[in-house]
Amino acid sequence: MHTESLNTQSSFPPKNTEPRPEHPPEVPLAIHDLTVAYHRKPVLWDIELNIPEGKLVGIVGPNGAGKSTLLKACLDLIPKTSGWAHIYGKPYRKARHRVAYVPQRESVDWDFPVSALDVVAMGAYRRLGWFRRVNKAETERARNALDQVGIAHLADRQISQLSGGQQQRVFLARALMQDADLYLMDEPFAAVDAATEQAIVKLLRTLSAQGKTCLVVHHDLATVTTYFDWLVLLNMRVVASGPAEETFTRENLQKTYGGKLNLLEKAAEALGHSID
């Protein structure tokens, strides 16, 4: 692949690598040498990341830093140019049942003819498998999940009649339905009211207390250290990753958000064009 030729640190990464025993098998998410390109323009370079278990992880970085892309690549939603991402030591397709994904709210059509409860019940579809309908037990679980996010009374509302914060809570409830160990959330705090933000934080803490791991794409630097105990600073590559207080330094932020730094972006641009 063309991106590999620019990759100077790791020489010639073999494609489709089998997991090497570099990390203990129980690491919730281990990413090695991950590169992702859209239309030949790399958006993630050489990602190396190990997320420890039971942490609340914030992924922070400027617009276009590849935060959402990172989650999608971990979930096999977009092809990887090189490298791999392993969940509890296994490729994603073998560890699906342990992962819950909360997409960005704008990714779906909220005018769709379904109720909040219907959407939450979708979290059970994988468990149910082909052809089987949503049964009573799962409906009950869906109601509980809605209750957990504090909107049980809105279960039968059509989703367009919910506020932005309530829609986000529906998505969270759907993730809860999946009963996963690793939660990947794409900007759950985007454009929600203060009450919802607090409810989400509370929920994250509960999950974390149960030993679950949450990766949350976040964009509000002011709240980063209060919400999360582990941080990943991302700008096309991992600038820093570690415990929140240690990682959230001026220097690291400068590296992540600094204007002049983005040589990488220019290089990616050039690479995108050079082959034309």
Which residues here bind other proteins, judged by CB under 8 A? 1-2, 4-5, 8, 11-12, 39, 72, 75-77, 93, 96, 99, 101, 103, 107-109, 111-115, 118-119, 122, 125-126, 128, 130-134, 158, 160, 174, 194, 275-276
Radius of gyration of the chain measured on its C-alpha atoms? 19
Burial of 93 (0-12, 13-18, 19+ CB in 10 A): exposed
Of 115 and 253, CB closest to other proteins: 115
Strand partners, 90: 87
Of 194, 108, 198, 115, nearest in space to 154 by CA: 115
Instruction: For the CB of residue 43, give the shortest distance to other proteins in the complex, in Å.
Output: 17
What is the secondary structure of 107-175 as a DSSP string?
GS-TTSS-BHHHHHHGGGHHHH-SSPPP-HHHHHHHHHHHHHTT-GGGTTSBGGGS-HHHHHHHHHHHH
Q: Which residue type occupies 137?
A: A
Of 122 and 253, CB closest to other proteins: 122
Of 106 and 246, CB closest to other proteins: 106
Of 90 and 112, CB closest to other proteins: 112
Of 9 and 210, CB closest to other proteins: 9
Instruction: For the CB of residue 122, give the shortest distance to other proteins in the complex, in Å.
Output: 6
Of 4 and 53, CB closest to other proteins: 4
Instruction: For the CB of residue 234, give the shortest distance to other proteins in the complex, in Å.
Output: 20
Instruction: For the CB of residue 88, give the shortest distance to other proteins in the complex, in Å.
Output: 16
Instruction: For the CB of residue 101, give the shortest distance to other proteins in the complex, in Å.
Output: 4
Instruction: For the CB of residue 183, give the shortest distance to other proteins in the complex, in Å.
Output: 12
Looking at the chain, the number of H-run helices and the number of E-run strands are: 11, 10
What are the start-end ranges of the E strands in 11-113?
Answer: 29-38, 41-51, 56-60, 82-87, 90-91, 99-102
Round to whole Å and give the CA distance between 56 and 130: 33
